[in-house]
Structure 1
Amino acid sequence: MPYVISGDGTKIYYEVIGRGEPLVLVQGFSWDLTAWHFQWELGYRFRLVLIDNRGVGLSDKPSGPYSLDSMADDAYAVVSELGFRSIHLLGFSMGGMIAQDFVLRHGDVVKSLILSSTMPHLEITPELRQFTEMAIKLYDNFNMFTGALQVAFSEGWISGNEQVFHELTRLFFNRRMPKEAYVAQLEAMGADLTPRLSEIQVPTTIIHGEADRLIPIENGRKLFNGIPNSRFVVFPDAGHAVYIERPSEYNEQVIRHIELVNSGRFSEHVKREERVTYT
């Protein structure tokens, strides 16, 4: 199985699917690379690189603290191992924060950026800490886990896809990370990248679901306002896990982003907000 040893000795698992230009996918808080199942079809166009962040999946699960820097360096270790000099980088939720940090630390290899359902900073409020403490106490309770996962999807999608949601919940529950790693990943998101957004100069598409209950769409607008060379794509009625709720339309937007970048037409769409229409 493909592993790379990161700078601090952490073993990071990754998978490569398809051929073509490299597209590196960085997953969100507490989820492993199996959550990219609906994006595998992109392997017909790109060489997909899927990474298990430290703490989840088949990667090492060291005790905390974790940091965005360390997780960005983990991803960079994978990119270096594969010998890539130019990549498109996609980050979802916490993975979007890791992707922002990656560009700030290793921007020489990033051709373009896609930030999905993410933010420049997660405020660790007393309420969030209280919820986390409760979640840890009930960490092995499937009903509690199901309730927490519901927030990652829009209510409309859950009601129309009850069986899929149940199967996803069971999959994520069976592959849940250790409690200590759960806390370490959460606290890493307390970093604040807001003051450095203007330093991100690569073509950036920001994707956000309008019905995101976990990371409200205002967070995507902060990125859009702060990153100079960016466009904003809104998915009406979609929740946090927009790439699962609307996989076909989401994958089309990924392809469109890369086509705009590669054709030199991305600049025509900078500082434009677009809304996705569903067929």
Structure 2
Amino acid sequence: MGEAIDVNGTRMWVERRGRGSDVLLIAGLSDPAEAWQAQLDGLADRYRLIAFDNRGAGRTPLPQGRLSVPLMADDAAALLRALDVPAAHVAGFSGGSLIAQELALRHPGLVRSLVLMSTFARSDAYFRAMTGFWRWMVEAAPSPRAMLEAFFLWVYTPRAHADGTVERMIEEALAFPHQQSVEAFQRQLEAFETHETLDRLREIAVPTLVLAGEMDRATPPRLGREVAEAISGAVFEVLPGEAHQPFQEVPDEFNARVDTFWREVDERG
């Protein structure tokens, strides 16, 4: 059961589940806390999980003025403090992984470890062309369904399109009662595409696992490798046959991998 909590000057929607070591789950572009449902269900017997709606997604309002990754990282830090969590394992997906990077840089004492899924440290020409297309696509699509059908071509595997997973995701997204506005989508996207941490990632000192999908078109493995090479001691792994969202497509595999990583960190103290 979720609740709205006063965080960093806004009412942020938060879902909490389970018991054990604290884990903060940070969602990506457009996604509410429910994007992590397979982790909230599958890991709650071992961890105290916290998922939330970023500004402009789900039930957390879009702020006035410019939206930025540092602002959303400060939101995540303020949320942990509001919940009396001294430090947490932090997992971020796509845009959420950018927030996780900034959280570790701006509030290092709050982060025990990092899992960065489908991540990058700075955009390149291909990425900017892709997100430029997304920016007008969300306005020009003839219907919300058509927009999702186009957008999901970038983030799910051909397998997921063939086996009905994508159709199920579309139906769930269309039924969700807290739809994101076009403005909120575009402002979140602008924040993510201007992200730049490559020259600062060497400051991150916590254990870090960087995961990339072999078939990811949005954030291909070369971008994740660049992040891992910039963080001392980071482990980089490519998930064969997976695309941008393996935590949803193959949740058992994803959950097992992050569980092993977090257990290793806990054992090392």
Q: TM-score, normalised by structure 2?
A: 0.92
User: Could you report, residue by residue, the CA deviation over 1:61-120 in whole angstroms, capped at 9, with x for unpaired residues?
Assistant: 234521011111111121011101121000000000000000111111211111011111
Name the structure 2 match of 1:151: 154
Aligned to 1:180: 183
Q: 1:139 to 1:104 in 2, by over 3 A?
A: farther
Name the counterpart of 2:31.
31
Between the aligned partners of 1:58 and 1:131, the Cα distance in structure 2 is 22
AA of the residue aligned to 1:144: M
Aligned-pair distance for 1:140?
3.7
- Alignment partners' CA distance in 2, 1:166 and 1:51: 24
User: What is the alpha-carbon distance in structure 1 between the residues aligned to residue 236 and residue 45 of structure 2?
Assistant: 25
Give the superposition deviation at 1:187: 0.7
Kindly state the Cα deviation for residue 139 of structure 1 after the two structures are TM-superposed: 7.0
| Runs of at least 5 residues in structure 1 that lack an aligned partner in the other structure | 266-279
Is the Cα–Cα contact under 8 Å of residues 6 and 73 in structure 1 kept in the other structure? no
Change (3 A) 1:182 1:64: farther
Shift of 1:142: 1.2
For the Cα contact (< 8 Å) 1:153–1:213, is it kept in 2? no
Is the 8 Å Cα contact of residues 158 and 165 (structure 1) preserved in structure 2? yes
Give the equivalent residue in structure 1 for 2:135.
132
* Separation of aligned partners in 2, 1:139 and 1:39: 33
Amino acid at match of 1:116: M
**2:160 is paired with a residue of what secondary structure?**
helix
3-state SS of 1:100 partner = helix
Q: Which runs of 4+ in 1 moved over 6 A?
A: none
Contact preservation (8 Å) 2:14, 2:52 = yes
Q: How does 1:167-206 map to 2 (within 5 A)?
A: 167-175=168-176, 176-189=179-192, 190-206=194-210
**Alpha-carbon distance in structure 1 between the residues aligned to 2:134 and 2:256:** 36
**Structure-2 separation of matches of 1:121 and 1:17:** 33
Give the residue type in structure 2 aligned to 1:112: S
Aligned to 1:22: 22
How far the C-alpha of 1:169 sits from its partner, in A, is 1.0
| Shift of residue 195, structure 1, vs aligned partner | 0.8
Cα separation, partners in 2 of 1:255 and 1:140, compared to 1, 3 Å: same
**Alpha-carbon deviations, 1:24-69, whole Å to 9, x = none?**
0000111111111111210110000011101011111234521011
Aligned residues: 262
| Residue 104 of structure 2 is aligned to residue 103 of structure 1 | yes
> Does the Cα contact within 8 Å between 1:117 and 1:242 map onto a contact in 2?
no
